[in-house]
Amino acid sequence: MRLYAVVWWLGFAGFTTLMFVWCVLLLPMVVIDRRRRVYHVLTTCFWGSAIYALNPFWSLRVEGRAKIPWDGRAVLVANHDSLADILVVAATFRPFKFVSKESVFKVPLMGWGMRFCGYVPLRRGDRASVLAMLAACRAWLEREVPILLFPEGTRSPDGIVQPFRDGAFDLAVSTNSPVIPVILAGTRDALPKHGLIAPLRSNVRVRVLDPIHPADFADVAALRNHVRSVVIAEKLRLTSELESEQR
């Protein structure tokens, strides 16, 4: 298993290097593609889906991708179990910007490519950074580009959906953007929070749900609590379906 993990990470690093070269070659297109929607699909989305496709023992299925608008405001919120989460959400092949830890943007090649795509950095615990992140997200939404956030703030240590923070829901309310839940199942097994050994086999499912409109709720807290209850219920359902398929 350790040998397989070494081979997997070497393959990951090699493919990421190739994808960075691809990102650089395509960079001139952002002169026309100012919102970097097509650029995002041709780089991040291709990279994320290819990581799974290149491993014949890994399975990834995405449902409901068309619910994410190609051109329009939306705040995507996903449960967060693994480093693999952003890879599988990218496999929706829909345009969005996502928020990630500032330190990830400093990772050679991958972090540089994230900056090319216009993703949003965040330094945890730094109020100025939080305000800058919210301003950047609001600017993308005003340009009709969806934003993806993980409202738990960090990866769940045990697979249980953690309390949601207000940021995503403040954005949705202040910009009158629908909240679109994105449910992930199986990513925790693909790449555990406290481990770097990828399993030989991995089965992951992504399910995009119908939009939830902020105007239907009294305040940010009511919207946040409703969305979290929807995410919890659907994750349980999707996990059960995945387990049934594996029997």
- CATH number reported for the structural domain that contains residue 138 in this entry: 3.40.1130.10
- Phi, psi angle pair for 201, to nearest 5°: -115, 145
Select from 82, 36, 38, 37 the least CA-distant residue to 60. Answer: 82
The Cα-based distances of 172 to 38, 41, 101, 180 in angstroms read: 24, 23, 21, 10
* pLDDT band, residue 1 (cuts 50/70/90): low
pLDDT score for 177: 97
Q: Is the dihedral of CA 210, 99, 87, 20 positive or negative?
A: positive
Q: Are 147 and 171 in contact (CB under 8 A)?
A: yes
Greatest mean pLDDT range, 17-31, 116-130, 219-233? 219-233
CA atoms within 13 A on the CB side of 15: 18
- The string of pLDDT tens digits covering residues 90-107 is 999 999 999 999 999 999
Assess whether pLDDT exceeds 60 at residue 42: yes
Q: What is the mean pLDDT of residues 201-222?
A: 94
pLDDT score for 124: 84
Q: What is the mean pLDDT of residues 59-77?
A: 94
Q: What angle do CA 133, 140, 211 make, to 5 degrees?
A: 100
Q: Is the dihedral of CA 190, 194, 195, 196 positive or negative?
A: positive
pLDDT score for 125: 82
Q: What is the mean pLDDT of residues 14-35?
A: 92
pLDDT score for 188: 80
The domain of 21 spans 2-246
| Euclidean distance between CA atoms 201 and 218, whole angstroms | 45
Q: Are 58 and 3 in contact (CB under 8 A)?
A: no
Counting the structural domains of the chain, the total is 1
Select from 188, 211, 216 the least CA-distant residue to 72. Answer: 211
Q: What is the DSSP letter of 211?
A: P
Q: Are 196 and 159 in contact (CB under 8 A)?
A: no
Axis crossing angle, helix 2-26 with helix 110-117, rounded to the nearest 10: 40
